[in-house]
Chain A
Amino acid sequence: MAQTEEDKLLDEVTGKSYEYGFTTDIESDTIAPGLSEDVVRIISAKKNEPAWLLEWRLEAFRVWSEMKEPEWAHIQYEQPDLQAISYYSAPKKKKELGSLDEVDPELLKTMEKLGISLEEQKRLSGVAVDFVIDSVSVGTSFKEKLGELGVIFCSLGEAIQEHPDLVRKYLGTVVPQRDNYYAALNSAVFTDGSFCYIPKGVRCPMELSTYFRINEKGTGQFERTLIIADEGSYVSYLEGCTAPQRDENQLHAAVVEIISLDEAEVKYSTVQNWYPGDKNGLGGVFNFVTKRGICHRKSKISWTQVETGSAITWKYPSCILKGDDSIGEFFSVAVTNNKQQADTGTKMIHIGKRTRSTIISKGISAGDSQNSYRGLVKILPSAENARNFSVCDSLLMSSTCGAHTFPYIEASNPTAQIEHEATTSKIGEDQIFYCQQRGIEEEEAIGLIVKGYAKDVLNKLPMEFAVEAQKLLTISLEGSVG
């Protein structure tokens, strides 16, 4: 069990398909492309899931079958053929490469620029080295330490087997199956993801990460994450990876649910760098994600995201501020270049009294890309004295890109205070020239200016992530001034 689990995770990390035939049962364990109720049943059976979960998946499938793909977002694409996807693939052994020489040099160049160590480069690009053993042992001691505190951090698949009551109690409570087209699809066919539970009053002593140096990664096509912070607990959770992630799966439809119980705090940070496609946008990943958290009394959820990848990003990490005095935050930097399209933002739903939310969104558009901020601030009648403060800024790097802002404000309580600031500016030639005159080359100058622009958001990231994210911004915008 342990072995196959690890192999599967490794496979999901690299997303490479198996080509060389070290084992023989691979092909027979991949089901034919297409989606039907039977397929859902097969997935659930393969994963040895309890009956209630199969029922839950089937309900999602039925709802999904009635739904239509949404068209309101400011993005244009050809709808992926969902019947052409195979929804279950047995754990595969990744294709092992002999040395870094066999890795795509573009990929290596980028990783070098990011300052990723040689060992890490090998790991990320799937070169066989003995660090795997290291990383397992690191992962093990990591787990032991968390175990002492009662923190559960494992794959969702494992949690379904080991902690079914917790999963059953919370799964789908924040993002119900019928929430939207892609969330419904995910609910029906999700393969794996991460699960995290922080017990009452525990302050998780380390950043929990789905990629960092341990193989808890669940980068499946339909990933599902469930985070539960019990009363008075705290956790900082990191998702994603600054290294470019290539994947043969064009469509990614993940769901993240966060439950922040009374007086708990969850900080969720993402760096998303899926393959954006080539200069013409061909071959990039479609990233349709539903992320939402619910805040109970005096609790807090903070979303921080740096989005640089994907051909299409459709993503609105949101907070339902249900409990009195709860706080929701959203800090975002979204970069689009070439033909990339992003429609991203947040929803802050104020239900409890004295609930507060802050939104800081920094869009950077370059090339021929389209970058939209879409946000909803909704104050329900029950939300006495709710407050919101929003800033959404757009920075244009070229004359052929687009930046759009769609703020929606619905206030149903007269005591609400809502502030919204928005700016759009073109990167200043004066600023670039000023830097150049001091001996800073143009590319570096742009990096400096953009980092300065995004600083308020980058500062919210955990330290080690922030440094890589800064470099990533610069790399994403290389050659983009026009």
Chain B
Amino acid sequence: MRSSVFLAIAVAVAGLTFAGARVAGNDYVFFAGYTVLQFVVLATAWNILGGYCGYVNFGTAAFFALGAYTSVFFHKTYPLPIPVLFAVAAVVSGVVGLGTGYLTLRLRGAFFSIATLALAVVLQTFVVNWSYVGGSRGAYVIRPGDVDVFGFHLEYIQYLFLLMALLAAASVAIARAIERSKLGYGFATIRDDELAAEASGVPTLKLKLVATTLSGALMGMAGAPFPYYIGYVEPASTFGLPYAVNAIAMPLIGGTTTWIGPLVGSILLGTLQQIVTVTISSEVNLLLVGVLLVAFVIVAPKGLVGLVQPLFHKTGRTWTRPSSKSRDSASASAASSPSTKST
């Protein structure tokens, strides 16, 4: 299937989801659905770097919050329509992603992961000390009234839902297009054996930077409408660990090698979380995510997709990669050899 055709189908699915939610006619459907769609974007974005390249980003919350605070900033200075905010947030988060990647991606993967954790705390400290965007007290963002889109009169939450659905469709289409492009094969070589890739002339650093920038930009876009959705933005929760954990858990539970994994993972886990939050409590919901994450990485390393795939035995386009054992042990030995040390 051509990528443009896939994009058209994805947008159609997003439209149908929106229409379905309209038929349900309950505002809660839009609020809950928005959160799930937001996680589709975050999980897909995480997977572009984590699943395709094999570099773990713990800083999803940082990029997400960067998008959210970009919106807060513009809301206070010069209110912009959300589609424009998407673009601005993408640039801001993308640039920060590029910068972090440039500083740390030349080193072993672990350092990049630690640096992304660091990024979240540094940015949070900046926001806490920046009173213009609310500081540690947080900022109120009044949600605008109804809007008219192409002649349709929509409540604002419905408008946000529609935008997030379209963004989700776009990010899944981007992920799928990457998978099938030269870029995707480049990413796969990094994941499978970075040393060999580098030796065969793959510009690994450049590719990793492309992945980090793209992934960061998408995460920032997911955060851009957040202030309008939630109405009150405050650093501790916007930079909170749950975003990072979810963005990692969803692709790993779904399966990291294809675009389907994060999509399945985020829809299942996102919906489950909405149910648990409402019926039990939000702490139990977080515990559930953590336990599922640990259980899946131990028991089902290929995720749900890996569990289901053998049932279909599809060949051809659905391309299964060889076991990652060889590359990881190779990179592990490559990683440990320079760090041999004596005291």
Q: Please indicate whether A and B come from the same complex rather than being unrelated chains.
A: no
On B, residues with C-beta under 8 Å from A are none
* A interface, CB within 8 angstroms of B: none
